[in-house]
Structure 1
Amino acid sequence: MRNIMLTVEYDGTNYCGWQTQPNATSVQEIMEGALAQMLGEPVRLHASGRTDAGVHALGMAACFQTDKTMPLRAFREGLNTLLPRDIAVREAREMPLDFNPRFHAQGKHYRYTFLLDDIRSPLTRHTAWRLKGKLDVEAARRACAEFVGEHDFAAFRASNCAAKTTVREIYSMDLTQDGRFLYLDVRGSGFLKNMIRVIAGTLVEVGQGKRTPEDIRQLLEGGDRRASGQTAPPQGLCLMEVFYPEVGAEPDPHPARRKPRRARDLEGEGT
């Protein structure tokens, strides 16, 4: 038996999210269908996590087990001939049988993209949140620093979030501007449902002068979702990367404080 990990890129616009759901089309459903067609047997994918409807991914990690002996390149190339144009396998590599992409993940990197423009942009409507008017980027950047570290993020999650604990650690949070685009890059141990989107919505309110950077600490301490900002729309969010330790190495509790080991640095065929 082999344990194959796929790194998947997808445009989430037309999907209900990664995870299979009744009466809606998911990325997982499409992926499992393509795998079953290629391998001639039912396949179950186990992913590093979930993404919501409309959210994108550059580096979603998902594993399946098979006894097929085909080379790793064949998994990637074979699947890409069967998948729709908005889903692609970037990498396929073999992992130990006990490897689980969710439980062995050391952290994740998400990026939220804002478009600062008073005029709508048809080309970015599925990949960015357009903000009209002026935004105090420096104030929003100062607010980012308040999120870094281990905190209770109860005030920054969806009302229907089922997580047993709301304590998470953010390793780094950076806000960078490139012309009309503003990028929020967040690296952390893990994230609650809608956590990045609520953070993004709250940062926008700081930039609009509706809150101060110092308000963030009070929101974290208060734990009241009703007191924090709006949930940013899904199209601006993208799962960039999932961090894993070297096979056989002890977990690094702070993967973002060193040069991250990208998926292609793990064993298996390179990108």
Structure 2
Amino acid sequence: MRRLLLVAQYDGTDYFGFQRQPVLPTVQGELERAISQLLGRATTVTGAGRTDAGVHALGQTVVFETDSPIPAKRLVGALNALLPDEVAIVEAAEVDESFHPRYGALGKLYCYRILNRPLRSPFIGRYAWHVTWQLELELMLEAAEVLRGEHDFVAFSSSGSSVGGTVRDLRRLEVERRGDLIEIHTEADGFLYMMVRRIVGTLVDAGRRLVSVEEVGEILRSLDRTRVKTVAPPQGLTLIKVIY
């Protein structure tokens, strides 16, 4: 059997997350439908992670096994012809049979976008959180500095997170403003369930002066999930890349 890797991009707005569900539309379901149709037999894929409903991806990694001789370079065009407009394959390659997209990952990179102005936008509303309050960037930067590094992030996780431990190395947490758009770039060796969205919500609270920078540190050290008051909505979040 051959093991083939695909890098997928998708607009997650109309999908109930990545993971396959019996009835609801999911990204994994669309990928498996297209691959199975192309190869002529039922095929399952394994992803590097599960994005939630409404979350997008520019670099989701999946693998599947097949005994088909189809060249990897042909998969991109062939699968894109079968996939809906919201899902696309941008890369395909044959990998070693020991490669696992999740357990072999060294980290992940996400970007969260915030539209920070009074008026909404019909152009980026599907890909950004519309925050009407004027956010103070300096306070968000100071709060981000508190969170960077290796910590127990249980306070920034939701129930249902992996039981394999809650310590993560948040190697990058940067906040940038470009006009009305604020981008939060975050990279870690792994993320707990809802971790990015809870961090972003807390940074926004800091930018609104609803919590102080000192309180952000207290929330982190408290290990208490109930201390996080704001969870950013899913549409602003994009998985940029899985790092190997």
| Structure 2 contact 148–173 (Cα < 8 Å) conserved | yes
Rounded to whole Å, the distance in 2 between the matches of 1:63 and 1:48 is 9
Tell me how far apart the structure 2 counterparts of residues 62 and 44 of structure 1 sit (CA, whole Å): 10
- Per the alignment, residue 183 of structure 1 pairs with 183
Shift of 1:44: 1.1
Q: Distance in 1 between matches of 2:95 and 2:229?
A: 41
Paired position in structure 2 for 1:75: 75
The alpha-carbon deviation at position 185 of structure 1 amounts to 0.3
1:155/1:222 contact within 8 Å kept: yes
Q: Distance in 1 between matches of 2:127 and 2:110?
A: 13
Deviations 1:11-42 (A, max 9, x none): 00010100012331110001000000000111
Counterparts of 2:162 and 2:107 in 1: how far apart (Å)?
20
For 1:37 and 1:166, locate their aligned partners in 2 and report how far apart those are by CA, in whole Å. 40
Over aligned residue pairs, what C-alpha RMSD do you find?
1.0
The letter for the 1-side match of 2:211 is: R
2:84 maps to amino acid: P
Partner of 1:139: 139
One-letter amino acid of the counterpart of residue 27, structure 1: V
- The Cα offsets for residues 47-100 of structure 1, whole Å up to 9 and x where unpaired, read as 101100000000000000111112222111100000000000010011101100
The code of the aligned residue for 2:144 comes to C
Counterparts of residues 1-271 of structure 1 (less than 5 Å): 1-244=1-244
Question: TM-score normalised to the size of structure 2?
Answer: 0.97
Q: TM-score, normalised by structure 1?
A: 0.88
- 1:6–1:61 Cα contact (<8 Å) kept: yes
Specify every segment of 5 or more residues in structure 1 that has no aligned partner in the other structure, as ranges.
245-271
- Structure 2 unmatched ranges of 5 or more: none
Q: Distance in 2 between matches of 1:235 and 1:130?
A: 10
- Please give the secondary structure, in 1, of the residue aligned with 2:142: helix
Q: 1:163–1:192: 8 Å Cα contact kept in structure 2?
A: no
Equivalent-residue separation in structure 2 for 1:23 and 1:64 (angstroms): 22
| Mapped contact 2:117–2:134 kept (Cα < 8 A) | no
| Aligned partner of residue 214 in structure 1, secondary structure | helix
Higher mean alpha-carbon deviation, 210-219 vs 84-93, is at 210-219
Question: Letter of the aligned partner of 2:165 in structure 1?
Answer: T
**Alpha-carbon distance in structure 2 between the residues aligned to 1:218 and 1:41:** 53
Post-superposition CA distance 1:156-175 (Å, at most 9, x none): 11234353421111111111
Structure 1: how far apart are the matches of 2:77 and 2:213?
48
Aligned positions, number = 244
How high is the sequence identity, in percent, across the aligned residues? 39
